[in-house]
């Protein structure tokens, strides 16, 4: 792969998925894209790059973009967000005007193979005494159709269920199917999976009470992060919450959010952003998009 081809691929991935590749990542590109090239009957990345430049290569472009997607995920990853959900976020929802409608919407962005949204669904089920009769929609999105299909099936290997999932929850919510474990259909039905590119328009998704966007922003350029957070602020209800990864922050990137004191990775809209979001939310509710 020549320097010019690497530069082309860097521009291609940032434009199509927001992924920002740093200098020296040629080895990563080669390891991820050579299987795509071989599947297409090509012997080199140079051939793949040439094909990507041609008109009518939409399917190949999608496969290349999905191959570069980071799909690392495991159950109850980092634990803290789920503790924050139990101790801060859910109690706030219960004490809000939502208690009249008993309705809540959660967006898991870049949901990968489903461990995060299913962990949330399990957490909600474990809080059934508090959240009984609530209508809670979990919308899980990803840019990779292959991982979405795996997530929908809810089938995981022994290694995958051992990563972060307490044994009592494995026994309670999974059934063994051959060498795999399948999450219970009642938990699977709590999550709706959709293909979605985070560079696309967020408005069709509706509005949310919580947005989980963990370990995603770290792969994007600063201007892309800023744009994404600005658009998420408009999709979040004024008293909603944004959840980021442990290594991520809004500091220096967004003026719309402020950290929730004592809750790592948890953010709320600043009053100015919340007041700006209120008319948007009201319009969305009136249109029935939420």
Q: Is residue 173 in some structural domain?
A: no
How many structural domains does the chain have? 2
Q: What is the pLDDT along the chain (290 residues), one digit of tens a residue?
A: 788 888 899 888 888 888 888 888 888 888 889 988 898 898 888 999 899 888 777 888 888 887 887 667 889 999 999 999 999 999 999 999 998 999 999 999 999 999 999 999 999 999 999 998 999 999 999 988 889 999 999 999 999 999 889 999 999 999 999 999 999 999 999 999 999 999 999 999 999 999 999 988 888 888 999 999 999 999 999 999 999 998 889 988 999 999 999 999 999 999 877 776 655 444 444 444 44
CA angle 188, 285, 98 (to 5 degrees): 65
Q: Do 246 and 272 have their domain in common?
A: yes
Length of the chain: 290
Looking at the DSSP bridge assignments, the partners of residue 267 are 242, 259
**Burial of residue 255, with CB atoms counted within 10 A of its CB: 0-12 exposed, 13-18 middle, 19 or more buried:** middle
Q: Record the pTM.
A: 0.83
The last residue of one of the domains, among 67, 93, 114, is: 67
Report CA-CA distances (Å) from 163 to 49, 56, 159, 170, 233.
37, 41, 7, 11, 32
Q: Do 51 and 127 have their domain in common?
A: no
Q: Is residue 203 in some structural domain?
A: yes
Q: Do 136 and 273 have their domain in common?
A: yes
């Amino acid at each position: 792969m020549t320097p010019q081809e690497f530069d082309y691929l860097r521009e291609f991935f940032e434009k199509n998925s927001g992924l920002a590749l740093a200098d020296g990542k040629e080895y990563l590109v080669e390891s991820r894209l050579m299987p795509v090239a071989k599947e297409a009957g090509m012997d080199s990345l140079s051939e793949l790059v040439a094909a990507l430049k041609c008109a009518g290569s939409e399917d190949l472009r999608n496969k290349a973009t999905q191959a570069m997607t980071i799909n690392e995920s495991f159950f109850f990853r980092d634990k803290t967000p789920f503790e924050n959900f139990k101790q801060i976020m859910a109690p706030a929802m219960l004490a809000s005007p939502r208690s009249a409608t008993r309705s809540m919407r959660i967006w898991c962005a870049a949901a990968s193979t489903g461990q995060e949204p299913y962990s949330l669904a399990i957490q909600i089920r474990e809080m059934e005494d508090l959240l009984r009769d609530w209508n809670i929609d979990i919308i899980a999105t990803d840019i990779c159709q292959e991982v979405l299909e795996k997530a929908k099936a809810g089938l995981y290997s022994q290694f995958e269920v051992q990563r972060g999932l307490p044994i009592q929850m494995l026994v309670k919510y999974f059934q063994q199917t051959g060498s795999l474990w399948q999450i219970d259909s009642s938990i699977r039905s709590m999550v709706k999976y959709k293909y979605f590119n985070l560079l696309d328009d967020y408005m069709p998704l509706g509005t949310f009470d919580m947005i989980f966007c963990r370990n995603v922003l770290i792969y994007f350029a600063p201007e892309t992060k800023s744009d994404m957070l600005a658009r998420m602020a408009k999709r979040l209800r004024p008293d909603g919450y944004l959840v980021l990864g442990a290594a991520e922050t809004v500091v220096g990137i967004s003026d719309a959010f402020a950290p929730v004191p004592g809750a790592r990775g948890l953010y709320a809209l600043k009053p100015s952003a919340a007041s700006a979001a209120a008319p948007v939310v009201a319009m969305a509710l009136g249109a029935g998009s939420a």
